[in-house]
Each structure stands twice: as C-alpha cells, then as structure tokens.
C-alpha cells in the first residue's frame, strides 16, 4: 500500500495592542438613492430605482518594533455593500514594515497597483469605470465599454510587495502565489466567453497560478506632472493558450485650471 505524505508549512504574524502602538477605529455609512430610465425599445429594463447603502469600519494601528527601529503599520477594513454575501474583508488588509523610504508590505487591496481606477484619459467627464457594466440599457443587458481591472489582479490578492520612495516617485514590485486572472480575452477555457473568462468554479481544469507586478507612480520631479506605469504577468495556466499580462500606463499634466491626460491599457 502506498502512503501519502502531506507536508504543510505554516507561518504567521500577529499584531496585538501595546503601550507603544497607536490604534484608530473609524467608520463610514453611505445611503443613496438612484433612478435611471431607458427609452430604447430593445432595452431589458425600462427603469431602475431604489435605495442603496454601504457600511465600512476601518481598524488601523502603527508603532515601532524592538528590532533596529523598524516601524510598522497594520490594519483592515470591514466593508458591506448593501447586503453583501461574499467576504467583508477584501479591502485594505495589510501589514507594513517600514525602514526609511523602503516598505515591505504583506497585504491585499492596499499598495499602488494597476487594477485601480487611474483615469488620466477622461471621456466626457466620466471615469471609465462609470461606464462599466451598465446593465439594463441594451438588448444584451450590458454595455461594458471599459475594463477597470484587467490582467492578473495582483493587488486584489494577498501578496508580498516592496515599495521604494525616491525624489521622482515610488517604485513597487509585488508577488502573489495565487492570482485571479481577469483579462477579458480568454477563449480557450471551458465554455466561458471572452468577456467574462475570469477564474471561477466549474471552469474545467483552470487553476490560478502565481503572478507578479512591477510599477511606478510619481511626478518625475516636475510640478504638475503625474505619471504611472505598471506591468503585470501571470505564470502560464495549463488550460489557456496564452499567458495573462497587462501593461497599464498614463500621464497627466495640470497647468492652472487646465488638465490634460492620457491612459492606455493593453491586456492579453
């Protein structure tokens, strides 16, 4: 009889309150009302209206370790969008260790990353995400025009990252052992269409792989300038014919009351 040997490695970090720590708890409650209508004969819904709510609690602490003067910051947010059925702890969860201008971050939804709304190229005054997934206003029920979070979403998964502040901006490099790919171009896995082929249960033998992302945000030492550039890539998945990656960059310059910007996202 063959024996199956399973080896598990566990490592953990725990922060608790201390006399040298500064802990804050903040909260936010939003209640809104929205109404929209469509006159197209082919629209699935003629009107949408109702109240919405969001509740959020933020717990944060910071202080110094007893090792070489290393500073730390840690925290998490509890966010409930309406009546949320999925996890309430997927926003701004982090442990940061800081030495001068260098930060080691073990976190999710916390550091600078490509899958945030960076709208340097503005369309008619709207953020691109404002025009994303407007269900009910087309025959298909969806008028997605922009994808806010393309490619391997390193920042939306727990990752290890290092950030370095410089006079021209902040450089970052992050690694996650398990990525959630969302490129929107996958057509080789199971029956998922090219518009929603992110990883999900029942998608055959699709298994998330590790991924990395490198990035930069800053002003390059020029007043009024705002630049960002990110490159992310996931290890090849067995069920996919192509490898997920994202190039996301933009530039914005403000001159008094006038601002001009440009954004480009390339995904595969």
Q: Average pLDDT, stretch 236-258?
A: 82
Q: How far apart are CA 140 and CA 131, in angstroms?
A: 15
- Please give the span between the terminal C-alpha atoms of the chain, in angstroms, as a whole number: 46
Confidence of residue 177 (pLDDT cuts 50, 70, 90): confident
pLDDT for res 209: 80
Q: Average pLDDT, stretch 135-146?
A: 45
Number of H helices, E strands in the chain: 0, 11
Q: How far apart are CA 13 and CA 96, in angstroms?
A: 11
Q: How many CA atoms lie within 13 A of 166 on its CB side?
A: 13
Q: How far apart are CA 126 and CA 120, in angstroms?
A: 11
pLDDT for res 12: 57
pLDDT for res 8: 52
SS3 131: helix
pLDDT for res 152: 77
Q: Does residue 39 carry a pLDDT above 50?
A: yes
Q: How far apart are CA 119 and CA 148, in angstroms?
A: 9
Q: How far apart are CA 98 and CA 162, in angstroms?
A: 10
Q: Does residue 216 carry a pLDDT above 90?
A: yes
Q: Mean pLDDT lowest for which of 31-35, 105-109, 114-118, 145-149? A: 145-149
Q: How far apart are CA 16 and CA 212, in angstroms?
A: 30
Per-position b or e across 77-116, b if 16+ CB within 10 A of its CB: bebeeeeeeeebebbbbbbbbbeeeebbbbbbbbbbbbbb
Confidence of residue 141 (pLDDT cuts 50, 70, 90): very low
Confidence of residue 204 (pLDDT cuts 50, 70, 90): very low
Q: Does residue 165 carry a pLDDT above 70?
A: yes
Beta bridge partner(s), residue 108: 93
User: In which residue are the tokens 């390193």 written?
Assistant: 154
Q: Which two tokens stand for residue 166?
A: 């410089």
Q: Does residue 88 carry a pLDDT above 90?
A: no
Confidence of residue 197 (pLDDT cuts 50, 70, 90): very low
Please calculate the CA angle 178-180-182 and round it to the nearest 5 degrees: 150
Q: How far apart are CA 27 and CA 177, in angstroms?
A: 32
Contact (Cβ atoms closer than 8 angstroms) between residue 108 and residue 90: yes
Highest mean pLDDT among 125-139, 191-205, 206-220: 206-220
Q: Which residue has the higher pLDDT, 120 or 18?
A: 120
Highest mean pLDDT among 41-50, 145-154, 221-230, 256-265: 221-230
Q: Which residues contact 206 (CB under 8 A, 6 or more apart)?
A: 189, 190, 199, 237, 239, 240
Mean pLDDT of the chain: 74
């Amino acid at each position: 009889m063959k024996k199956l040997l399973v080896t598990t490695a566990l490592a953990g970090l725990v922060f608790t309150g201390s006399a040298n720590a500064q802990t804050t708890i903040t909260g936010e409650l939003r209640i809104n009302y929205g109404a929209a209508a469509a006159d197209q004969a082919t629209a699935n819904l003629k009107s949408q209206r109702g109240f919405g709510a969001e509740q959020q609690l933020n717990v944060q602490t910071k202080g110094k370790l007893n090792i070489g003067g290393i500073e730390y910051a840690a925290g998490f947010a509890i966010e409930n969008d309406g009546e949320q059925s999925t996890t309430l702890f997927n926003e701004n969860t982090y442990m940061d260790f800081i030495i001068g201008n260098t930060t080691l971050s073990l976190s999710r939804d916390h550091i600078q990353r490509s899958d945030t709304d960076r709208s340097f190229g503005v369309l008619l005054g709207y953020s691109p995400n404002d025009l994303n997934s407007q269900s009910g206003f087309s025959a298909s029920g969806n008028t997605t025009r922009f994808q806010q979070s393309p490619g391997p979403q390193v920042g939306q998964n727990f990752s290890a990252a290092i950030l370095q502040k410089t006079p021209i901006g902040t450089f970052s490099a992050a690694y996650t052992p398990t990525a959630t790919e969302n490129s929107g171009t996958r057509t080789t896995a199971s029956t998922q269409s090219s518009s929603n082929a992110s990883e999900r249960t029942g998608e055959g033998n699709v298994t998330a792989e590790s991924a990395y992302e490198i990035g930069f945000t800053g002003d390059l030492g020029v007043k009024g300038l705002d630049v960002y550039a990110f490159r992310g890539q996931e290890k090849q998945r067995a069920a996919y014919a192509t490898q997920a990656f994202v190039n996301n960059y933009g530039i914005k310059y403000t001159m008094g009351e006038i601002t001009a910007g440009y954004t480009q996202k390339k995904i595969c």
